[in-house]
Amino acid sequence: MSPCPEEQLGSSPEAVAPTPPLDSDIPREWWDEFEAAARRPLAVRIRYSFIHTYKPVLDDARFRAFDTMEEYRQWCEANLPEWLGYGRL
């Protein structure tokens, strides 16, 4: 059985995280989490970086096509929840 991609890649030397500056406003626990993440192999960081979030209406059809941008904008305003951010300003 071959090793998983994480074991094959190993940690790269450039993944060493800096220590926080003394006058930093960033809490120490955030720096600690960042440093732990930076020590993970690249394959693990990439796998954990993509999070699928279901978007109502948008994810309910395989695709949609519109003849004009105006038609698309009107559809967005009529069908999508405001919190998705597809409305006009």
Predicted confidence (pLDDT) per residue in 24-35, tens digit: 788 889 989 989
Q: Any idea of the CA torsion for 38, 42, 44, 47, to the nearest 10 degrees?
A: 120
Residue 63 has what pLDDT?
92
* 44-84 pLDDT tens trace: 989 888 888 898 899 999 999 999 999 999 999 999 999 98
Token pair of 28, please?
Answer: 């120490």
Distances from the Cα of 70 to the Cα of 38, 66, 73, angstroms: 44, 9, 5
| pLDDT above 70: residue 17 | no
Nearest CA to 20 out of 31, 33, 35 is that of: 31
pTM: predicted TM-score of the whole model, two decimal places:
0.45
**DSSP class per residue in 29-64:** HHHHHHHHHHHS-HHHHHHHH------TTGGGSS--
